[in-house]
Structure 1
Amino acid sequence: MPTKIQFAVLYMGIVLAAIGQGGTRSTIAAMGANQFDNAEDQAIFFNWYVVILYASAVLGSTVIVYIEDSFSWALGFGLCVVVTLIGLTIFLLGNRYYRHIKPQGSPFTSLARVIVAATRKRKIPISSKSGDYYSEQLGKVEKVVALPTESFRFLNRAALKTAGDTNSDNCTAKPWRLCSVQQVEDLKSLIRICPILSSGIFLSTPIGVLMSLTVLQALTVDRHLGPHFKIPAGSMIVFILASTAISLTLIDRILYPIWQKLSHQSPTPLQQIALGHVFNAFGMIVAALVESKRLKITKTQHPTNETNSTIPMSVLWLVPQMAVVGIGEAFHYPGQVTLYYQEFPTSLRSTSTAMYGMIMGIEYYMSNAVIGLTQRTTGWLPDNINNGRLDNVYWMLLVVGVINFGYYLICARFYRYQNVGKENENYISDR
């Protein structure tokens, strides 16, 4: 039995690994995209970033796990340390060639100032004259003041100049009372994208439920591939990872060039996400049909109530549902990352690439909640799924997915891109 100190060391390692992954995954994505000026090049980068991310996850879930099972855990973790150090060395060697962003302070403070300033000036009438609004200066040259947009007009008051708000050099004297038009528009862009961001949570939740339930299905079927190899039930997620990596490679090299040739433009991030919704729904249909077949075999050829019994059905029947969902992820994952990166304020781009990670985190909690709620309110998920109706769970997820897709289409219909095509003025080079 491990001691309390050993448990403390274990959990400390898990926490440090989680912090490291959370910190590097989003910042590497943002930093890589920062090296490109063109939105299309950035989208291509995100595609290949996801390919490498998922391909490495496949290697970690297969090769490293095999080494840990066949040799030792120390060797497996040791290889991970070596690979990490090699990656860090390569990353640092390229530092002099990277394009870096000028530090500009906390972007969250800037957003908070807009809310506070707008609230403090809530009784001031909104002006239609551009000269009444404040714009930051670039060195000694004052920016041309543009009128703030009409949406969320309440926030426009934050940029209204009143007596005592600026110094003699026209710089803001009270940053919690006067903000620039750009700061106001940055907050508005976040508000506009929130509905699409929320639809991503319910897009990912069925995937989390599918992964959990597929493991339960795999435990009841024949997992042998040949006389000597047996697929671990917990490794079924590898099929989603592999499907995403392979599909995204084909999509980027074959499908998108054909799309560009036929439509004379690249698919937009919103279109990519929509395709992800479609494939995700199709994956639920495939999962429901496969489960119906599994239940039929259980009832007709293997009528037993034993929890650990195996039915005469190959585990390969479960691969299509994972593959289809993986194809959907090849569309909506890079689509979401690209959309958030392009549409978030420049100062929040590192945060923007972390949004999908946040969605995935919420997804796991939501999927557990869905499974728990289904168990408490229906008889579809008993301890022995051979006596349940797992297919009904998948049909339910399909209905939820279709409703969420309708919600997404409404959000996408009224959404207007804000930052695509804008020149980036924030970069400096250390060359």
Structure 2
Amino acid sequence: MPLLGAVVADSFLGRYRSIILAYTLYVLERASRSSLFNWWFFSMSVGIYIAVIVVSYVQENVGWGIAFGSLCAIMLCTFTFFLVGTPTYRLYKPTPSAEIPFARFARSLATLARSSGFMKRHRQREEEDEEATGKSEKAREVLRLVPIWAACLAYGMVYAQLMTLFNKQGRTMDRRVFDGLELPPAALQTIGAASVLTFVPIYDHLLVPALRYATGNPSGLTLLQRVGTGMAISLAAVSFAALVEARRLEVAWKHGLVDDPGVTVPMSCAWLVPQYAMMGVADVFALVGMQEFFYDQMPGELRSLGLALYLSVTGIGALISSALISFVDRVTSRGSGDSWFTDNLNRAHLDYFYWLLAGISAADLVLYLWLARSYVYNNRKTTI
């Protein structure tokens, strides 16, 4: 390619125009990688959107067995489709002598732990010094990601409410649309997926170019800025959810439905649209940003660990949320008062729990911003 570039520069474009072309191509290579993660998340949301609409309808109107059986049949079809492509795949045989990446990482940690004493001893052969330094650096690269990962867990706690407490809110509200058609509570999750489908093209084609012009960064925002923006939006979403739930309880009291949980509260489920939509937008910023950040900043041989860190934010965040709910339920159910999570939601206080999550998210966001401000991107990788 340098030889081709020289011919083009000397014979056709000239050096100045060739440099401009080269810089343009360089920026578009860097920018397309972030776009890849955006559209991967977009494609996944398409599947979620279709599945929630169809499966929730079948569950509510036909039967849960049929719904799960349909999903099983779809998985068998996709697995078969995957196997059909086997002859076209490039398969690599494992190298027997290759060290397992995680074992290599463990050795790097051990080297890092010995590094302080190692440096105080007499200098060994130069090759051994370089090897030890390389292992220590890889261990440091992984360890310095852990505080960022921990600071993202509050986002996972809020994310867990999409498929749990948000649904419980929706079940008690008026879900009639289009001449009396009643939506299943789970169908409300399509709002989040729909906001992703709407916002990804806007973000990729409008917002990123505008931010790129303003910041000079090929991706518009740095990876940590993108994640932080998503965390801030999720804080706004759970705060809005608390306000909506307080309003729902007020309506239930006003209409004398506090002790009649089986009756629909005369309040439209449209009140829930903003919190679902904001969480969808937050996902485009935070989840996609986490995926690219942990993938980009992890040593090459541990990229799978980077993706695992991204996925574990929602998993461990959900576990923490469940533990917190159990603890709060035990504390608030003592004495003669109702628990915040009593079965009769008209006597519960999900709004208090949402405010608790908002407080945790706010404190966690402050910690995240402090950590992100001092984080230095790996020099051997792009710093987008």
Correspondent of 1:246 among 183, 193, 198: 198
1:182 equivalent to 2:142? Answer: no
Deviations 1:205-247 (A, max 9, x none): 1221354211111121112213452221233333223322322
- When residues 227 and 107 of structure 1 are mapped into structure 2, their CA distance, relative to the original with a 3 A threshold, is same
Secondary structure, in 3 states, of the residue corresponding to 1:309? coil
The offset of 1:128, in angstroms, is 11
Q: Structure 2 CA distance, aligned partners of 1:108 and 1:128?
A: 30
Separation in 2, partners of 1:235, 1:373: 29
Distance 1:301 1:307, change over 3 A: closer
Q: Which moved more, 1:298-307 or 1:342-351?
A: 298-307
Q: 1:345-384 maps to which residues of 2 (within 5 A)?
A: 345-378=299-332, 379-384=339-344
Following TM superposition, by how much is the alpha carbon of 1:320 offset from its aligned partner in structure 2, in angstroms? 1.1
Judge conservation of contact 1:276–1:329 (CA < 8 Å) in 2. yes
Q: Label 1:59 to 1:128 Cα distance change in 2 as closer, same or farther (>3 A).
A: farther
- Residue in 2 aligned with 1:55? 46
Shifted more, 351-360 versus 111-120: the winner is 111-120
**Given the alignment, which residue of 192, 196, 217 partners 2:169?**
217
Report what 1:200 is aligned to. 152
Distance 2:71 2:35 in 1: 33
The answer to whether the 8 A contact 1:273-1:331 is kept is yes
The AA in structure 1 aligned to 2:329 is: Q
Fraction of identical pairs, as percent: 25
Alignment of 1:323-402 (within 5 A): 323-378=277-332, 379-402=339-362
Q: 1:43 aligns with which of 14, 34, 43?
A: 34
Equivalent AA in structure 2 for residue 81 of structure 1: L
- Distance of aligned partners of 1:80 and 1:304 in 2 relative to their CA distance in 1, 3 Å threshold: same
1:366 partner amino acid: I
In structure 2, do the counterparts of structure 1 residues 360 and 93 end up closer, same or farther at CA, with 3 Å as the change threshold?
Answer: farther
- Do the aligned partners of residues 422 and 393 (structure 1) sit closer, same or farther apart at CA in structure 2, a change above 3 Å counting? closer
Offset of residue 362 of structure 1: 0.9
Distance, in Å, in 2 between the alignment partners of 1:382 and 1:352 is 39
When structure 1 is superposed on structure 2, of 378-387 and 66-75 the one drifting more is 66-75
Q: CA deviation at 1:66?
A: 4.1
Deviations 1:89-141 (A, max 9, x none): 45x46535x9x899653111112222334556764434898x9553xxxxxxx
For 2:296 and 2:161, the matched residues in 1 are separated by: 30
The secondary structure found in structure 2 opposite 1:416 is: coil
Is 2:240 aligned against 1:286? yes
Corresponding residue for residue 23 of structure 1 = none
1:6 matched residue in structure 2: none
What is the SS of the residue equivalent to 2:351?
helix
Query: For the residues of structure 1 that align with 2:342 and 2:58, how far apart are their CA atoms?
Result: 35
Closer, same or farther in 2 for the Cα pair 1:55/1:184, shift >3 Å? same
| TM-score (ref. length: structure 1) | 0.72
**Conserved 8 A contact 1:245-1:330:** no
The letter for the 1-side match of 2:74 is L
1:95 corresponds in structure 2 to 89
Cα deviation digits, residues 328-357 of structure 1 (max 9, x gap): 111001110111111000001122122222
**Structure number having the greater helix percentage:** 2
Given that 2:175 and 2:182 are in contact with CA atoms closer than 8 Å, whether structure 1 keeps it comes out as yes
Q: How does 1:401-420 map to 2 (within 5 A)?
A: 401-419=361-379
Q: What are the Cα deviations for residues 15-40 of structure 1, in whole angstroms up to 9, with x where unaligned?
A: xxxxxxxxxxxxxxxxxxxxxx9543
Aligned-partner SS, 1:235: helix
CA distance in 1, matches of 2:93, 2:136: 21
Q: How far 1:386 sits from its partner (Å)?
A: 0.9
TM-score by length of structure 2 reads 0.80
Give the direction of change, closer, same or farther, for the CA distance of 1:187–1:297 in structure 2 (3 Å limit): same
Distance 2:83 2:55 in 1: 19
Aligned partner of 1:295 in structure 2 is: 249
Q: Match for 1:308: what amino acid? A: G
In structure 2, the residue matched to 1:176 is: none
CA root-mean-square deviation: 3.0
